[in-house]
Amino acid sequence: MNSLITGMNGFVGQHLASHLQDCGDEVWGTCIRRQPSGGNMLAWDISEPATPELIDTLKDFSPEVIYHLAAISHPGSCGDDLPTETCQAVNILGTRHVAELALSLPSCPKVVFISSSKVYGGRTAEQPLAAESDPPQPKGGYAHSKWAAENVLRDRIEQGLQVMIMRAFNHTGPGQSPIYLVPEWCQKVASGVSPQKVRSLATSLDLSDVRDVVRIYRLLVEKGAWGETYNVGSGSAVTTADIWNTLCEISGRSLEVSAEKPEPAQQPIADVTKLHEAIGPIERFTLKQTLEDVYRSVTS
C-alpha cells in the first residue's frame, strides 16, 4: 500500500512511518519548511495549498491512503477558548488543503484524519465513557479546531472523498516531547530532586502507548468502514498518581510530590465497543512497559 503521512517528522508520524514500513507499505511524508530528504520527505506547509510541483510529485507516487497527522497538537498553543489564527490556519485550513490535494490526485487516495478525544469535552467520574455517537462538546481552541476539521472533511464526502475519522485519546511513548506530561515527569523523577510539584495527581485519563495507537490506525484502514468515526484509546482509566508512582518505582526513587490542583478531574475514557467490532481485540503494552520505555528514552 502506498501511504502518505502529513507531519511524518512528528512524534506520532515517525512511529507510524516505522510501523507502515514494517507492514510492507511504501511510505512518503510531508513536513513543514524542510527540504526534501531521501526522496520520500516532501516540504509542505499545509496552511498553504499544495503547489503544482508537490501535486505532480504525488501523482507519480500515487498514494492510496493519506494519514493526516500534521497539526498544532499541543492544546496550550491553540487558544484558551477559540482557535488562535495560527491554529485555524494549520488545523482547519490545513485540513481543507489536504482534502483538496486528495481530490486532485488521480489515485483518489482515502484520507485518515487523526482527530482528538478533546472534541467530547469533559466527563464525570460517574459517567466517564465517551462514545462516537455522543454529541461533541469541544472546549478550548484545540478541541474546536479538531471538530471544525472533522466537518471540513465530512462536507467533502459528497465530492467523492473517502474519509475515516479517528479520535485519538491520550498517548505517549519513546520520543515524545517533554512539553507533554509523561516525558516531563520522567525528567522530574530522574532528577532525583525532592520535593517536586506537579499540576495534578488526581486526574483520571485514558492513556495508550503510541506504538499500539499506530497499529490501530493501520488496522482500521484495513478493516474499518470508510465514512465512519472511531475512538482510538485503551478503554480503561489510569490516574496521574498511578503514572507518578510507577515512574518512581521504575527509577528506584521515592520522591515527595505535591499537586497544584488537588481536586479530582475526569477526562473522557474511550468507549471502544465500535473499535473492537471493527478490528477485534489487540494485545497492548502495559502501563509499566510504556513508562519504562519513555523513561529510558528520556534518560539515555
Q: How confident is the model at residue 229 (pLDDT cuts 50, 70, 90)?
A: very high
Mean pLDDT of all residues belonging to the chain = 95
Average pLDDT over residues 212-237: 98
**Residue 220 in domain:** yes
Q: So what's the pLDDT on residue 74? A: 85
Question: What is the rounded distance in angstroms from the CA atom of residue 27 to the CA atom of residue 8?
Answer: 10
Phi, psi for 232 (deg, rounded to 5):
-120, 95
Average pLDDT over residues 196-221: 97
Check whether 240 has a pLDDT greater than 70: yes
Contacts of residue 87, Cβ cutoff 8 Å, sequence gap at least 6: 72, 77, 78, 79, 141, 142, 145
**Which helix (H) or strand (E) segment is 242 a member of?**
helix 240-251
Percent of the chain having pLDDT more than 70?
Answer: 98
Average pLDDT over residues 39-54: 93
Q: Which domain holds residue 231?
A: 2-173+209-235+269-284
Average pLDDT over residues 106-121: 97
Q: How confident is the model at residue 34 (pLDDT cuts 50, 70, 90)?
A: low
**Residue 297 in domain:** no
User: CATH number of the domain that 89 lies in?
Assistant: 3.40.50.720
Check whether 36 has a pLDDT greater than 70: no
How far apart, in Å, are the Cα atoms of 227 and each of 143, 162, 193, 195, 201?
21, 6, 50, 50, 38
Check whether 39 has a pLDDT greater than 70: no
Q: How confident is the model at residue 38 (pLDDT cuts 50, 70, 90)?
A: low
Q: So what's the pLDDT on residue 108? A: 95
Expressed in percent and rounded to 5, the helix, strand and coil fractions of the chain are 40, 20, 40
**Residue 19 in domain:** yes
Whether 112 and 66 have beta carbons less than 8 Å apart is answered as yes
pLDDT per residue over 253-287, tens digit each?
Answer: 999 999 999 999 999 999 999 999 999 999 999 99
**Residue 62 in domain:** yes
pTM: 0.95
**Residue 184 in domain:** no
Average pLDDT over residues 202-227: 98
**Residue 186 in domain:** no
Check whether 37 has a pLDDT greater than 60: no
Q: How confident is the model at residue 170 (pLDDT cuts 50, 70, 90)?
A: very high
Q: So what's the pLDDT on residue 77? A: 87
Whether 7 and 13 have beta carbons less than 8 Å apart is answered as yes
Check whether 165 has a pLDDT greater than 80: yes
**Residue 146 in domain:** yes
**Residue 255 in domain:** no
Q: How confident is the model at residue 35 (pLDDT cuts 50, 70, 90)?
A: low
Phi, psi for 80 (deg, rounded to 5):
-75, -30
Strand 229-232 vs strand 203-205: parallel, antiparallel, or unpaired?
A: unpaired
Average pLDDT over residues 40-45: 93
Q: So what's the pLDDT on residue 73? A: 86
Number of structural domains (the chain) is 1
| C-alpha cell of residue 68 | 493526516
pLDDT per residue over 58-86, tens digit each?
Answer: 999 999 999 999 999 888 889 989 999 99
